[in-house]
Amino acid sequence: MWQIYSDGPYLVGRNLFHIMHHEDADLRIPPSINTAKRIHKLYIRAANILAGRAVPPGENNMEVVHARPAGEVFRVFPVPFFLVRNQFMRRWAELILMSMAEAMQHTENRKSLEISTAFAGQVGQYIKRVYINMAIELFGKTRAEATADGFALSDADFAAYNPADFFTQTEMVDTVPRLDRVFTEDRLDVLAEGISVTELPELHPWPTNLTNFYATTRTDATIGSGAASSASSAPIIPAAPGP
C-alpha cells in the first residue's frame, strides 16, 4: 500500500498488540477501565485518520505528474487470539484483524495518493462495531445511542464504569490463568516491532487442515474411513439390465 494509509494498519496493529498482551486478555471477567479507555482512544484516532483522508467519489483525486511515492510493505503485529480467555477482547480483536485484512487486500492499494470514502467505510465499519459493542455491553448504552452519528463515550461515562451493576456474579469471578504464558517485555520486543508481511512463513488454517481433520473424525458419504470423496472420483455407471 502507498503511504496515504499504510500508517493506518500500523497504528491499529501496534495498539491491538499492546491491548491483547494486557493482563485483561487473560481474564474472563469484563475488561478494566484501562482497556476500555484504550479502545476509546484507538477508535477516535482511527476514525480521525479515515475521515480526514477519505475523498468522496465526486471529488477529483490528486494525481502525480512525475514523482511517484514508494510503496509501503505492511507490517503485522502478532497477537494472542485462540487461547484468549476474555471473550469481549477476543471478539474485538477478531473485528480489528478483519479491518486490517480488508485494508491490506483492498483494491485501492493501487492508488498512490488517495483513499475513498468507500474504502474508509469498508475498513472503518469493523472498528466502529467494536466501539458500539463496548458502549452497549460494558457501559449500558442503548443501541440508538451507540449507533448515532458522532457518538462518543464521555468522561462521565468512564468515571461511572461499573460492569458489576448489570453483569451476573458468575461473570465477575474467574480462576487465575496460566502464568507460564505471560511474556516479559524483552520476550515481546521482537514482535512489538512488527513483522513485514514479505517475511511471514506460510500460514495454514487453524487448528489444522480441515479436510484431514474431518477425514479422521467423521464418517459420512464423502468424508472418512479412507474412502475417496465424490469430488475426486468419476460417477459410477449403473450395471446394464439383465436379459
Instruction: Report the pLDDT value the prediction gives residue 113, as an integer from 0 to 100.
Output: 86
Measure the CA–CA gap between 217 and 49, rounded to whole angstroms: 47
Give the whole-angstrom CA distance, residue 193 versus residue 75.
9
d(CA 214, CA 208): 10
Q: pLDDT tens digits, residue range 94-120?
A: 999 999 999 988 898 888 888 999 999
pLDDT in tens, 25-55: 999 999 999 999 999 999 999 999 999 899 9
3-class state of residue 54 by DSSP = strand
Least confident residue range of 19-28, 70-79, 132-141, 233-242: 233-242
Better-predicted residue by pLDDT, 209 or 16: 16
Higher pLDDT, 207 or 18: 18
Pull the grid cell for residue 14: 501496534
Identify the pLDDT of residue 37: 97
What per-residue confidence (pLDDT) applies to 8?
74
What share of the chain has pLDDT > 70, as a percent? Answer: 81
Position 74 pLDDT exceeds 90? no
**pLDDT on residue 23:** 93
The amino acid present at 35, given as its one-letter code, is: T
Phi/psi at 125 (5° precision)? -60, -35
Residue pair 193/9 in contact (Cβ under 8 Å)? The answer is no
pLDDT of residue 243 exceeding 90, the answer is no
* Percent of the chain whose predicted confidence (pLDDT) is above 90: 47
When mean pLDDT is compared over 40-44, 100-104, 200-204, 215-219, the highest value belongs to 40-44
pLDDT band at 7 (very low <50, low <70, confident <90, very high): low
Alpha helices in the chain (DSSP H): 3-20, 33-53, 87-105, 117-139, 143-146, 155-159, 185-192, 210-217
Give the start-to-end residue ranges of the domains of the chain.
Answer: 3-203, 204-236
More confident residue, 158 or 167: 158
Looking at residue 72, what is its pLDDT? 80
H/E element, 144: helix 143-146
DSSP state for residue 158 in the 8-state scheme? H
Inter-residue contact 57 to 117 (CB < 8 Å): yes
The number of angstroms, rounded, from the C-alpha of 225 to the middle of its chain's C-alpha atoms is: 37
Q: Measured between alpha carbons, how far is 72 from 218 in angstroms, rounded to an integer?
A: 45
| pTM for the full predicted model | 0.78
Position 101: which residue type?
Answer: A
**Would you say residue 208 has pLDDT above 90?**
no
- The number of beta carbons lying within 10 Å of the beta carbon of residue 145 is 13
Higher pLDDT residue, 216 or 20? 20
**Collapsing DSSP states into helix, strand and coil, what is residue 171?**
helix
Average pLDDT of the segment spanning 116-131: 93
161: left (phi over 0), alpha (psi -120 to 50) or beta: beta
Mean pLDDT, all residues of the chain? 84
- The pLDDT assigned to 185 comes to 84
Own/partner long-range contacts of 81-86 (Cβ < 8 Å, ≥24 apart): 81/20, 82/206, 82/207, 83/181, 84/20, 84/25, 84/26, 85/25, 85/26, 85/27, 85/28, 85/174, 85/177, 86/24, 86/25, 86/26, 86/27, 86/28, 86/29, 86/31
